[in-house]
Amino acid sequence: MKKTALSCLFILISLSVSAQEFFAGEFWAPYAVITPEFDVKPPDAEELIDQLLDEMRFVFGGMIYGFSFTYVPSDIERSVEEFFELDPLGEIRPGDRNMAVYQTRTDRTAVYAMTKYDLDEYQKNWVLYWNSEAFPTIDGRGRDMFIKGVSAKIEAIRQAIKEAVRAYLRKRIFNKPKKITGYVRIDEVPYIVIESGDYLAKVRVTMDIHEIEEYKTF
């Protein structure tokens, strides 16, 4: 886990705030994937499980620890391309004993898993920090192509986080900055559907802006 300024602020959290014990949510994966050649690939049970677990670890890790981000807005006049980087502040490793699937169901198109992640004491401190009312919450929507496979669901979540950051900053910063850095946390398990050939992710995040760097000269 990366050491960040976030860790130093845990001592400011009131002990009277009740700690959250676990996170839970439903994840799903389609039975079939369309290949780049537009063939339908038959489902593989082990692959479906691995895909679900990867998504669970990404989302629950993002709900516990959050991410650091760097955002550079595009600027045509300065020939600057948009850049967005999202790095986890902590991770849930494969085989983590606190992660469990306690119920599954299927329909004609996908397998669904009700999941739970029990929080250790140090993880509860991260959650308490992020639950502070000092941080704003913002909604974002992101897409990635269904044809890329289930890994595109995670990319759609990343794009939704980027759009949430952009939406928040656009309403508050009138002069386009050079770079913005900060921290962001996924508030709840994202809502993801397939729409017009894409995975569409709807995400709610909590944000902590660290620094806004302005252009010194044009």
Asked if residues 88 and 65 have their Cβ atoms less than 8 Å apart, the reply is yes
- 140 is a domain residue: yes
The confidence score (pLDDT) of residue 36 equals 52
- 11 is a domain residue: no
- 1 is a domain residue: no
pLDDT in tens, 10-39: 333 333 334 689 999 999 988 765 555 545
What's the domain range around 32?
20-213
- Strands in 99-106's sheet, in edge-to-edge order, are 22-30, 110-118, 99-106
Mean pLDDT over the full length of the chain: 85
How far is residue 157 from each of residues 3, 8, 175, 188, 202, measured CA to CA in Å?
Answer: 24, 28, 28, 12, 7
pLDDT in tens, 100-142: 998 888 887 888 999 999 999 999 999 999 998 899 999 999 9
Q: Considering the chain, what percentage of its residues have pLDDT values greater than 90?
A: 57
- 5 is a domain residue: no
Instruction: Report pTM.
Output: 0.84
- 197 is a domain residue: yes
The confidence score (pLDDT) of residue 60 equals 97
- 108 is a domain residue: yes
- 15 is a domain residue: no
Domain count, the chain: 1
- 200 is a domain residue: yes
Q: In angstroms, how far is CA 54 from the centroid of its own chain?
A: 12
Asked if residues 147 and 197 have their Cβ atoms less than 8 Å apart, the reply is yes
